[in-house]
Amino acid sequence: MKLVQFEPLFIRYFSTSVWPFPLHNHNHYEFMFVAGGSGTHELNKISTEYKGDTMFFLAPEDHHDFYIAEECQFSVIKFLPGVLKAGINSSTTDYWDNLLTSLTRKWHLYAVEINNDVQFLNKISTIMQLMISEWQDNNQQVTEIHTNLLRSLLLLIDKRMKNANDTTAQYGMTQIERIQNYIHSHIHFPEKLTVKNLSNTFRLSESGLRGIFKKNMEMSLGTYISSLKIEMIKNRIRNSECSLSEIALEFGFTDSSHFNKFFQKHTAINPLGYRKETKVNPL
């Protein structure tokens, strides 16, 4: 099962003795901090027992599940790479993309060492609790504070890993991860996200590209791109003072009519109505 998220960042915070989700993977990255309790975490068919404060970092194609023995408290930060760039498009060689790729490659090398470092776990827990508090205080909306705290999390983990002795070979991203990262990085440029351009970029036939995407993401390529774009547009309308015309241009719409039709098709309301509605009744 694949859980697909289109929001740039989403937070869960809950306690449970029964894990509420089936075995799954995602299209997003995920930080999980488990406080108290005990159980078993299954990651990519490898089971690891945990007890007390434990941190997990999950990449988009990681399959995982929990088997809880004693009730645990979960703090979960789920995010797409674009949130690190504050809505500004950048290339696939962007610093934050590279950092995420590096952490994904190396996490399994250092997970045990990190989870035995109580002082480091306390730092991570503090930052995640600040993110949760800001999320609750801001009606579950992403703010610049979230962006900066998330960057801090990534930089702290990267620093912790660099302090360890890295002697293991590097492993690349999967093909579907590369396709997703390309889409996220070029969401503002429709001409980059045509089936023809994507198939050429990844050296696939058009039917092969569609098939790979459908198999891995459990939805069509077009649906994924449109859903991601609409959530990013909604976020910009809610959280920026840019005019609707400026937002339309930012996402590659050449005229307001096309922008309005696209937005209304996916939300059943026009952009102006959505802005007025969310200003009066914040989501």
Residue 171 falls within a domain, yes or no? no
pLDDT tens digits along 231-255:
889 988 887 888 999 999 989 998 8
Residue 169 falls within a domain, yes or no? no
The C-alpha atoms of residue 203 and residue 53 are separated, in whole angstroms, by 44
DSSP letter for each residue of the chain: -EE---SSEEEEEEEESS--S-SBEESSEEEEEEES-EEEEEETTEEEEEESSEEEEE-TT--EEEEEEE-EEEEEEEE-GGGGGTT----TT-HHHHHHHHHHHHHHHHHHHHHT-HHHHHHHHHHHHHHHHHHHHTTT---HHHHHHHHHHHHHHHHHHHTS---S---PPPHHHHHHHHHHHTTT-GGGGSHHHHHHHTT--HHHHHHHHHHHHSS-HHHHHHHHHHHHHHHHHHH----HHHHHHHTT-SSHHHHHHHHHHHHSS-HHHHHHHHHHS--
Task: Compute the residue count for the chain.
Answer: 283
Is the domain of 17 the same as that of 132? yes
Q: Are strands 25-26 and 2-3 parallel, antiparallel or unpaired?
A: parallel
Residue 178 falls within a domain, yes or no? no
For residue 62, which of 42, 81, 84 has the smallest C-alpha distance? 42
pLDDT tens digits along 179-214:
888 888 788 889 999 999 999 888 889 999 999 999
Is the domain of 203 the same as that of 271? yes
Residue 36 falls within a domain, yes or no? yes
Which of the four pLDDT bands, split at 50, 70 and 90, describes residue 282?
low
Is the domain of 158 the same as that of 193? no
Nearest 5 degrees, angle CA 244-CA 27-CA 14? 95
pLDDT tens digits along 87-114:
554 444 478 888 888 888 888 878 888 8
User: Structural domain of residue 123, as residue ranges?
Assistant: 2-162
Which of the four pLDDT bands, split at 50, 70 and 90, describes residue 23?
confident
Q: How many domains does the structure of the chain reveal?
A: 2
Residue 124 one-letter amino acid: I
Is the domain of 130 the same as that of 268? no
pLDDT at 118 over 70: yes
The pLDDT of residue 173: 65
Is the domain of 40 the same as that of 158? yes
Residue 181 falls within a domain, yes or no? no
**Domain end (from 124, 145, 162):** 162
Is the domain of 252 the same as that of 146? no
Residue 149 falls within a domain, yes or no? yes
Is the domain of 39 the same as that of 102? yes
Please report, for the domain that includes residue 7, its CATH number. 2.60.120.10
Nearest 5 degrees, angle CA 152-CA 154-CA 159? 95
Tokens of 134: 């800001």
Residue 80 falls within a domain, yes or no? yes
Please report, for the domain that includes residue 193, its CATH number. 1.10.10.60
